[in-house]
Amino acid sequence: MLELRTDIEIDAPVERVWEVLTDFDRFPDWNPFIRRIHGNAQVGSRLDVFLGASGTRGMRFRPIVTKVVPNRELRWLGRLGLPRLFDGEHIFQIEPLGPTRARFIQRERFRGLLVPLMARSLNRDARRGFEEMNHALQARVHAAPESRIGTGKA
């Protein structure tokens, strides 16, 4: 198993961070890592995701949402080929650091037979993609209008 973890502090309430994170339709406007995502943030939903760090071709996959805790956590499980060949559980977490500050954590747990062969590129490219997204999320949250909070769009 290989686990990558990055985090960033954002000067905004957790609800605002969650709103931007789950507004999948707008990802192409701001997200340099997860360039496109279609689907719903609901347990059991299948997403259509295209992602890749800067300088990479990117890849498309269709993970299943495994956990949704509004304003706190979103998880999905993606696979390449058969189970246990190359599985990636992507985890987004938001921790409150006060009423107007949050920590955004992005993790991925990679498991399977191909993980050792891909560990070097995952550590380099996926980690860079996580960092790029974290900084872009921070900028987007700071620039996003607050009036949409509580509209229920996810």
Residues 107-139 have pLDDT tens digits of 999 999 988 888 888 888 899 999 999 999 999
Domain boundaries defined on the chain: 2-144
∠ CA 19-22-24, nearest 5°, is: 125
Give the chain's end-to-end CA distance (angstroms, integer). Answer: 31
Q: Which helix (H) or strand (E) holds 87?
A: strand 87-98
Residues 36-71 have pLDDT tens digits of 999 999 999 999 999 988 888 889 999 999 999 999
Percent of the chain with pLDDT over 70: 93
Looking at domain 2-144, which of 2.40.37.10, 3.30.530.20, 3.40.630.10, 3.50.50.60 is its CATH number?
Answer: 3.30.530.20
Q: Parallel, antiparallel, or unpaired: how do β-strands 87-98 and 48-51 relate?
A: unpaired
